[in-house]
Chains A and B, each alone.
Chain A
Amino acid sequence: MSTEIASSDVGKRQVKRFLSRIGFVAFLTLVSLFFALPMLWLVTAPFDANPTMSVGIPDWTLSNFQRVFENPQAMRAILNSLIIGIGTMVLVVILGATASYALSRVRIPGRDALLYSLLLLSSIVTGTAAMVPTFQLINVLGLINTQVAVILVITGGLLPTVIFILKDFMDSMPKSYEESARLYGAKPFQILMHVVTPVARPGIAFVAIWTIVQVWANFLVPFILLRSPELQPAAVVMHTFYTESGQADLRLISAFSLLYSLPVILIYFLVNRKFGFRFHGGIKS
C-alpha cells in the first residue's frame, strides 16, 4: 500500500517535471522568436536584389551596398557620425580623465557632494526634458545647425557619468607608482603623462568606447540641432530615408541600416565580453 502511494507520487513528480520542462522550453523559444522576428529583416533584406518589407530567402546580391557607397548623402551621414562621435569622445576623455584624476587624488572641498549631485542631475536633466532650453541656448549662442553644438551638448550630458566611472577606476589604482616616481624627482606633469596615463589606459579605453556607442545611436540631439542634411549623422539621415519621399528606397535603407548598426553591435559584443555588465545604460533617446 505505502509503496503504491510512493510510486504514484514519483510518477506525478515526473509528469510535473516533464511538463515544467516543456513550459520552460516553450517560454525560451517564444521569447527568442519575439526578439528575433523584427531583426530578421536586417539579416535578409540587405542581401536581397528586390527587398520588400517582408522577410524572405534573399535573391542573393551585394549590389545594395554598392548603392549605399554611391549615395553621397549616405556616405556623408556615416562620415558625420564619425566626426561627431570622435569629436565627442576626444573631448569627453580629455576633460573626464583630468577631472576624475584631480577628484580622485586631491581633496577638493565638497567633492563627494558635488559628484553625487552631478550624477543625480544628469539622470534628471535628460535630453528630452531639456530639449527646449537646450535648443534655445544653442540658438542664442549662434551655434544652431553646427556639429560643434551637438558635440558640446552631448559632452555636457555624458561627462558626469564618465567622471564617475573614471574616478572609480582611478581610486582603485595603487598610488605607489606615483609615489615612487615622485621620489625619483618626477614633476607632476611627468607623473601624469608617463605614470598615470599608462596605468589608467584600460579605464580610458572603456570610457572612449562607451562614449562613441552613446553618440553613434543618439538621435534626438542632432535631430533638433542640425537642419542641413549635409551635416546630419546617420541616426537622423536613416530617419529621413524612410519618412521623406513617397516611395522608400528599400535597397538603400536595408544596406544602410546594416552598415550603420554593425559597428556598434560588434563593439558591444566584444566589449561586453571583456568588461561584463558595466557596459550598459546612459542616455538612450
Chain B
Amino acid sequence: MTQVSAIAPGKAKPRRGRRAEDVAGLGKARASLFVAPSLLLIGMFLIFPAVWTVYLGMTDYRLTGVQAVDPQFVGFANYAEALGDSSFWHSLRITLIFVFVSGVAGQSLLGFALAWAVRNLKGIWKAIVEGLALAAWVIPSSVVAFLWIAMLDRRNGTLNTLLQTDGKAWLIDNPLLWIIIFNIWVGTAFSMQLFSSALAAVPPSQLESAKMAGAGGWQQLRDVVLPNIKGHLLTNTLLITLWTFNTFTPYLLTAGGPGNSTEILSVYIYKTAIPGGQLGLGAAISLIMLLINLVVALFYLRVGQGRKSS
C-alpha cells in the first residue's frame, strides 16, 4: 500500500540526485496533455465536492419540495442547528468512542500482538492466523455484515448456541460494543501486516545483543523494537484513525440503531441528508467531518516532521 509510504510523516523517500529526464522526447506540452484528463476527473469528483460543501452547507437545499428547486442562502443557520442539536453531539461522542476503542486501541493492539506472536512462526500456524485475519479484511463489507448478523442472531445465532444464551439479542442490548468488536474484526489485518513488515526490519543484531544482555520479552519490546518501529506506529495510527472515523460499514450491521445508539458521524450524515432529505444540513455536518479529517492528517504530519528534524 503505497499510501503508507506516501503519507508516512517523516518517511519521505530521499530524493535521488538524478534529475528527471524526458527520454522519450515527450515535451512539456504533451506531458501536460497526458496529466490533464486525470486532473480534470480528480478536480471534478474529489476536489470540487469538498469545496462545494462549504457553499452547500450554507443553503437550505432539500431533496424534494421548493428548496430543491430554489434553495435559499441561510448563512450559518445549518451550523447553528447542528451544534444546537443533542443528536449531533451524541453522534460525535459515540464516534470518538468508536474510533479510539475499535481503531486506535483495538485494531492496533491486536494487530501488533498478532504480528509479534507470529513473527518467528513458520508454516501452518502462521498461515492460518494471518489467512483468517486477512480474509476478514477482504470479504466485501455487505457480506461481512450479514455474517455477523447471522452469528449474533437472536434465535439461531452461533454465539447464542455456543454460550447457551438462547434469545439474547446482542445487537439490541449492547449495540455500540458490538460494532466496536465488529470493526476490530474487520480491520485488524491492516495493522497486523504493517507491523509484520515493521518487525521484519528490526535489525536482528540489536535483538541478539539485547538477549545476550539478559533482556526478557518485554524489555526487548520496549528498548529495541518500539524505538525501531516508531515511524510505522505513527503511520498506522494516522490511517486507522482516518479510516475508522470515515467508515460506513457499521451501517450495514445496525443501520445506526436501535434508536440512534450506533449512529456514528458517517451514518448520521447519511440519514440526515439522504433519507432525511436535508442536504444543506448534511453538507454542513460533512464540512465538520472534512475539517476533522484535515486536522487529524495535519496533526500527524506535524508530529512526523518533528520526529524527523529532532
A: residues with CB less than 8 A from B are 24, 27-28, 31-32, 34-42, 45, 52-55, 95-96, 98-99, 101-108, 116, 118-137, 152-153, 155-157, 159-161, 163-165, 168, 175, 178-179, 181-182, 188, 191-192, 195-196, 213, 216-217, 219-220, 224, 234-236, 238-239, 242-243, 253, 257, 260-261, 264-265, 268-269, 272, 277-282, 284-285
Given A95-B41, A119-B7, A164-B6, also A53-B140 (CB < 8 A): no
Contact B156 A280 (CB under 8 A): no
Binds A, one of B82-90, B131-139, B222-230: B131-139
Which residues of B sit under 8 angstroms from A122, Cβ to Cβ?
42, 46
Contact A106 B6 (CB under 8 A): no
A38 to B147, CA, bound (A): 6
User: Does B143 interact with chain A (Cβ within 8 Å)?
Assistant: yes
User: Does B249 interact with chain A (Cβ within 8 Å)?
Assistant: yes
Given A99-B34, A135-B274, A239-B142, also A130-B136 (CB < 8 A): no
User: Does B202 interact with chain A (Cβ within 8 Å)?
Assistant: no
5 CB-based A-B contacts, threshold 8 Å: A39-B132, A52-B156, A135-B279, A239-B145, A277-B193
Task: Add 12 more A-B contacts to A40-B158, A103-B35, A179-B23 (CB < 8 A).
Answer: A53-B151, A106-B22, A108-B28, A122-B42, A124-B242, A124-B297, A128-B270, A130-B50, A133-B53, A156-B45, A191-B24, A277-B197
Which residues of A sit under 8 angstroms from B303, Cβ to Cβ?
none
Closest CB pairs A-B (n = 9): A156-B45, A133-B49, A106-B31, A102-B34, A35-B132, A102-B31, A53-B153, A128-B266, A217-B140
User: Does B14 interact with chain A (Cβ within 8 Å)?
Assistant: no
A257 to B150, CA, bound (A): 12
In the complex, number of A-B residue pairs with CB atoms less than 8 Å apart: 325
B: residues with CB less than 8 A from A are 1-4, 6-7, 19-28, 30-32, 34-35, 37-39, 41-42, 44-50, 52-53, 56, 61, 110, 113-114, 117-118, 125, 128-129, 131-136, 138-151, 153, 155-159, 161, 185, 190, 193-194, 196-197, 239, 242-243, 246-249, 252, 255, 266, 269-270, 273-274, 279, 282-283, 286, 289-290, 293-294, 297
Contact B156 A32 (CB under 8 A): no
Contact B113 A27 (CB under 8 A): yes
The contact of B141 among A38, A155, A164, A219, by CB within 8 Å, is: A219
Contact B270 A235 (CB under 8 A): no
Which residues of B sit under 8 angstroms from A264, Cβ to Cβ?
138-140
Contact B141 A152 (CB under 8 A): no
Contact A178 B279 (CB under 8 A): no
The contact of A108 among B7, B32, B49, by CB within 8 Å, is: B32
Which residues of A sit under 8 angstroms from B290, Cβ to Cβ?
124-125, 129-130
* CB nearest to B190 among chain A residues: A280
A71 to B136, CA, bound (A): 27
Contact A175 B21 (CB under 8 A): yes
A264 to B151, CA, bound (A): 22
Contact A156 B23 (CB under 8 A): no
A234 to B125, CA, bound (A): 33
